[in-house]
């Protein structure tokens, strides 16, 4: 399954020789199951390091949760109760933006707001936490915000990415590296063909039940048309059951996001089947009208903070599985990597921003002589 070959790079151990900067290691045969942003990035970095990689996903490249989310490149603001999450997102952000620079949108303006009632984080605490982590924030009073409902608002340094540009970038890199992509499930019968199997399945598939802290939610993402004065604006209302909105890439459209209304179904049972009508709607390629949409509830809640958003127009819905840590006290969202058996690694994280960090750590493991390895960080 493996053969000795020369690999240019770092982070690998082996007998050195040849030209300066060259390292001799044993190239591995690696299957990556899951072609979301985590699996695709891992496959790219492994191939760049000289390993023989095959990528598997029955839905295609960046077609499930990686394509159905708020597209936020988190920078620490969203999780003031979790120092671990803030630190990880700050460390991972630079790697992600450098790797996918063409997909990053810099024209949008980003705001975080805290209501007078109902938030688990007070404005004073938010400011203290952000200052402690040296994260930029600037108190502001946008004319479009209702300060009878909102206590304080902050302009922040955060970006979103365009999902279509990101997918195109990833597909180009996969093609340039000649990584075989098979639009099918990776099965246990294939295991003997590979030195390593990386399961980047967002805590699902064979990873279900492995990460005990996970809860599973059917999430509705709603595409909307906002009034002209709100276009290009990203607003997060923290830290409670509130609704706000983000630009949908560079399309000029937007998406509602709601801690209260987004999730239609939740379970901590990793084996529970997705109920109808959602099972038939999961991971659709396009937004479409849905009779049971929670658009009206989100529009009503959003208008509390931003009165002009009452004129938002519903364009359609998409559904995906949202998998997060079931840790309401800290609201933690950190990267987890676990080796369930020698050469079988499972990757789980609720945040896109840590994908490049995960790929770096997986490359270190695949290039390491350690026979069995486990990391949770």
In the numeric block, the tokens 């990833």 are attached to 170
Q: From first to last of its 377 residues, what are the pLDDT tens digits of the chain?
A: 544 332 323 333 333 333 444 444 589 999 999 999 999 999 999 999 999 999 999 999 999 999 999 999 999 999 999 999 999 999 999 999 999 999 999 999 999 999 999 999 999 999 999 999 999 999 999 999 999 999 999 999 999 999 999 999 999 999 999 999 999 999 999 999 999 999 999 999 999 888 888 899 999 999 999 999 999 999 999 999 999 999 999 999 999 999 999 999 999 999 999 999 999 999 999 999 999 999 999 999 999 999 999 999 999 999 999 999 887 777 788 899 999 999 999 999 989 999 999 999 999 999 976 544 444 44
Q: Which CATH class is domain 3-366?
A: alpha beta
Distance, CA of 297 to CA of 375 (rounded, Å):
41
Separation of CA 116 from chain center = 30
Q: Smallest Cα–Cα separation from 235: which of 257, 263, 262, 261?
A: 257
Cβ atoms of 114 and 77 within 8 Å: the answer is no
Cβ atoms of 146 and 305 within 8 Å: the answer is yes
Note the pLDDT of residue 353.
95
All structural domains of the chain with their residue ranges: 3-366
pTM listed for this prediction: 0.90
Cβ atoms of 160 and 105 within 8 Å: the answer is yes
Cis status of the peptide bond prior to 280, with omega within 30 of 0: no
* 358 backbone φψ class: left, alpha, beta (φ>0; ψ -120 to 50): alpha
């Amino acid at each position: 399954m493996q053969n000795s070959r020369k690999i240019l790079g770092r982070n690998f151990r082996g007998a050195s020789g040849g030209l300066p900067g060259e390292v001799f290691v044993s190239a591995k045969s690696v299957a990556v199951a899951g072609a979301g942003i985590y699996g695709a990035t891992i496959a790219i970095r492994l191939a760049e390091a000289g390993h023989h990689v095959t990528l598997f996903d029955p839905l295609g490249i960046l077609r499930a949760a990686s394509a159905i989310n708020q597209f936020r490149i988190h920078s620490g603001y969203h999780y003031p109760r979790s120092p671990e999450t803030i630190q990880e997102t700050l460390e991972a952000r630079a790697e992600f933006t450098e790797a996918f620079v063409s997909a990053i949108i810099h024209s949008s303006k980003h705001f975080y707001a805290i209501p007078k009632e109902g938030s688990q984080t007070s404005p004073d605490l938010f400011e203290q936490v952000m200052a402690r982590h040296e994260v930029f924030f600037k108190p502001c009073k946008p004319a479009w915000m209702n300060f009878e409902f909102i206590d304080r608002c902050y302009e922040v340094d955060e970006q979103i990415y365009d999902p279509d540009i990101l997918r195109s970038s990833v597909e180009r890199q996969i093609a340039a590296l000649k990584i075989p992509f098979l639009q099918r499930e990776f099965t246990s019968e294939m295991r003997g063909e590979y030195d390593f199997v990386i399961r980047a399945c967002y805590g699902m598939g064979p990873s279900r039940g492995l990460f005990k802290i996970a809860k599973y939610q059917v999430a509705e993402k709603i595409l909307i048309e906002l009034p002209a004065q709100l276009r290009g604006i990203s607003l997060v209302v923290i830290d409670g059951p509130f609704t706000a909105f983000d630009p949908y890439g560079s399309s000029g459209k937007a998406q509602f996001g709601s801690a209260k209304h987004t999730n239609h179904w939740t379970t901590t049972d990793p084996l529970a089947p997705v109920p109808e009508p959602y099972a038939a709607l999961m991971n659709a390629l396009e937004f479409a009208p849905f009779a049971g949409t929670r658009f009206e509830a989100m529009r009503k809640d959003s208008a509390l903070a931003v009165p002009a958003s009452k004129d938002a127009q519903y364009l359609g819905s998409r559904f995906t599985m949202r998998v997060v840590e079931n840790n309401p006290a800290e609201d933690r969202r950190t990267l987890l990597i676990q080796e369930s058996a020698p050469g079988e690694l499972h990757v789980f994280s609720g945040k896109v921003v840590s994908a490049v960090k995960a790929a770096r750590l997986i490359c270190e493991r695949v290039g390491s002589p350690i026979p069995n390895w486990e990391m949770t960080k």
